[in-house]
Amino acid sequence: MKVVRALRVSLGPSRLAAGLICITCLATAALVAWLPGAAVLRGGFVIGIGAYAIVTLRHWATRSASHAVIGIELDADRVVCLTERAGRRIEGLVQPDSYVGALVTTLVMRPEGKRRLRTIAILPDMLPADDFRRLRLLLRLGRAATTTADS
């Protein structure tokens, strides 16, 4: 059996994520604008939705926020290290709640010494196809090893 090396991938900006964020925030703002009630209140909510869309675009789609994850290092023993744009490194363990699919992969990890989980959604256009395939494979194998070991 081959020994699996640690996988290092860099996450880039995603047009797919930007499109999804824009469509959902515009649809939500349109629904809120058509609700009955005071126009000032509805306008405030629409402005809030727009601000949320900008923050989400910077963090998830363009990866330009200082706390956005731009790099992932994953070992075969489910140890993961996230690198943020500001240079901060977060180490922890991949949780069984991680989802591996063809169009979206969700990495759920628990940072060392923290109670709260951290979740990173990864779309196919955020990294090269071969890196995306290896990341999904390593997450599947790591998850399968934990479920069989726990049984």
Identify the residue with better confidence: 78 or 23: 23
* CB burial string 57-81: b at 16+ within 10 A, e below: bebbbebebeebbbebebeeebbbb
- CA–CA dist 81, 104 (Å, integer): 20
Nearest by Cα to 97 from 148, 47, 146, 27: 146
How high is the pLDDT of residue 141?
A: 82
Q: C-alpha angle 32/37/40, rounded to 5°?
A: 80
Q: Please check the confidence at residue 117 and state whether its pLDDT lies above 90.
A: yes
Kind and range of the H or E run holding 21:
helix 15-33
Q: Please check the confidence at residue 150 and state whether its pLDDT lies above 60.
A: no
Predicted TM-score (pTM) of the model is 0.81
pLDDT band at 99 (very low <50, low <70, confident <90, very high): very high
Mean pLDDT of the chain: 90
Proportion of the chain above pLDDT 70, given as a percent: 91
